[in-house]
Amino acid sequence: MPSLQDFFTNKVVVISGAASGIGAGLAHCFASLGCNLALCDIDTEALAEVADTITKQHPTTQLHIETIDVSRKAAWQSFLCNAASQLNHIDIMINNAGIEGSCQPVWATDDDVLHKVMDVNFYGMVYGSKVALPYLVKRPWAALVNVSSIFGLLAPPNTADYCASKFAIRGYTESLRAELAQIHPQVQVQLVHPGGINTNITRLPQSQKFKERFLTEEPSAIALHIAKSIMHNKARIIFGNQAGRTSLASRILPLKWLSKLLAKEIDGLDMKEDYTVDHDGFSLPKDSDKKTD
């Protein structure tokens, strides 16, 4: 078995959401392993800072960076075409970009928030995967890595929109893995379920106590674990604070018990403001009670 350095040297890795958190951790990790990188994010300034640091620390690393909206397929097409042109090919595609949900129960979540979460988290992964496939299948070995969440294994209260996107990533990726194995087995497909990783995905005021309690693992740790798992072709990658415990619970506990345990986990997190029996989300539209003949 080759060392990590030997395995990854000169491979070209594409990473979305590379301006912070797990994405930035992955960028630094793969640069240290001798890879060349194509990095994208919607945050131009933060992405440039990551690229600048990598250039200073690893001056031989070839870099291509672009600011893109991952929810737009055309943006992916342009980005990957430019990346492949500059770096010659693509070996590893990591769909990591994601945003948090409303941190509210279903009845209080605005439909526009759900659409945005699905557009970025799910469709961003769909477009990144589909647009990357023609590049990946040309290689003698390649990897497609999609980042879900432990909330793609179970669904706590106040996370329905986020969980919907992460469960969708899981289903899409598992199906794609089975499909590609039949015609392009040289392209391995892997699914990542991060646990509590210390990132800035939690930006809303109502999610800060959740971040303090659960998001404790550093991005560099999961980045190295992902790299090792890619080399060993581990299909499901579960890592981070409470990730193992969550995975086990999702597989062995009856849903009735699991729902009760998850409800207790949000106690003390100031996430129950919308739990009122007369919430507007339970009210009919004003004109719906009009009698019709």
**Tens place of pLDDT per residue across the chain (293 aa):** 889 999 999 999 999 999 999 999 999 999 999 999 999 999 999 999 999 999 999 999 999 999 999 999 999 999 999 999 999 999 999 999 999 999 899 999 999 999 999 999 999 999 999 999 999 999 999 999 999 999 999 898 899 999 999 999 999 999 999 999 999 999 999 999 998 666 555 455 554 455 454 655 788 999 999 999 999 999 999 987 777 778 888 889 899 888 888 787 666 666 678 889 999 999 998 766 555 44
d(CA 136, CA 132): 6
Domain count for the chain: 1
Sheet holding 92-95, edge to edge: 63-67, 36-41, 12-16, 92-95, 142-147, 187-194, 236-239
21 Cβ neighbours under 8 A, 6+ residues apart: 197, 199, 200, 201, 219
Contact 37, 31 (CB under 8 A): yes
d(CA 246, CA 187): 29
Residue 289 lies in a domain: no
Contact 30, 3 (CB under 8 A): no
The catalytic site residues sit at 162
The H or E element that residue 242 is part of is: none
Residue 77 lies in a domain: yes
Could you tell me the two tokens for 189?
Answer: 């497909």
Residue 61 lies in a domain: yes
Residue 66 lies in a domain: yes
Q: Which residues pair with 191 in a beta bridge?
A: 146, 236
CATH number of the structural domain spanning residue 185: 3.40.50.720
Say whether 182 sits in a helix, a strand or coil. Answer: helix
Pairing status of strand 92-95 against strand 12-16: parallel
The parent domain of residue 254 ranges over: 4-282
Taking the complete model, does pTM exceed 0.75, yes or no? yes
Helices 219-231 and 21-32, axial angle in degrees (round to 10): 60
Residue 291 lies in a domain: no
The H or E element that residue 66 is part of is: strand 63-67
User: At 196, phi and psi to the nearest 5?
Assistant: -80, 90
Residue 246 lies in a domain: yes
